[in-house]
A and B are shown apart, each in its own frame.
Chain A
């Protein structure tokens, strides 16, 4: 069975400090990977997607970057946090896109509070 694990579960960080969030997918080879941001009680905003190792596409510019150093690993980071970065970060994977195989499977999420 496929599992997706995000770390850390929660972080409290100061404005201007760096951040690194991680996501690991086990049991699935070469998945499509995605990073999403969700404000408390709000909608989801897609941040990045990656179809293959080493290649990451940005969807919106929020002073964040992402990398896929391994097939099963997706990293979200920034060198300088802003207050607006607070929220819930969700990693997701899919087999394919659209149709019957485009289903997104989300991780448990990482809650970020920037003070």
Chain B
């Protein structure tokens, strides 16, 4: 099934904590898993992405953990900052120029 499930719908964490956003999928042909963030009034922008050859991808404070067996992947934002407050979308794709997007997580970082 071409669907990506994302949770939670909204998440509030304190500054300095680690925010964890979760996604799951069912289609085994998916082979590219990006995370985009979208600030209010702006367009989405790529944050970080992973392919199933790896189970972890790091970029500064942002880390994707990927579990191929359970068909789950998550975004961990370490040392959360108020500037990280945004809506985060996970997505998945097979090699066919189509991205299937999750429903989004609205992340609020409290100072």
Listed in ascending order, the chain A residues whose CB lies under 8 Å from chain B are: 32, 34, 41-46, 49, 51, 57, 59, 90, 97-99, 102-104, 106-109
B95 near A98 with CB under 8 A, answer: yes
Q: How many of chain B's residues have a CB under 8 angstroms from any CB in A? A: 22
Q: Identify which of residues 92-108 in chain B touch chain A, using a CB-to-CB cut-off of 8 Å.
A: 93, 95-99, 101-104
A98 near B93 with CB under 8 A, answer: yes
Given the known interface contacts A98-B51, A99-B32, A104-B46, the answer about A43 and B97 at a Cβ–Cβ threshold of 8 Å is: no
Listed in ascending order, the chain B residues whose CB lies under 8 Å from chain A are: 31-32, 34, 36, 43-46, 49, 51, 87, 89, 93, 95-99, 101-104
B97 near A32 with CB under 8 A, answer: yes
Q: Please, how many angstroms separate the alpha-carbon atoms of A32 and B99 in the complex?
A: 13
Chain A CB count within 10 A is highest, among B31, B98, B102, for B98
In the assembled complex, the CB of B63 is this many whole angstroms from the nearest CB of chain A, namely 17
A107 near B97 with CB under 8 A, answer: no
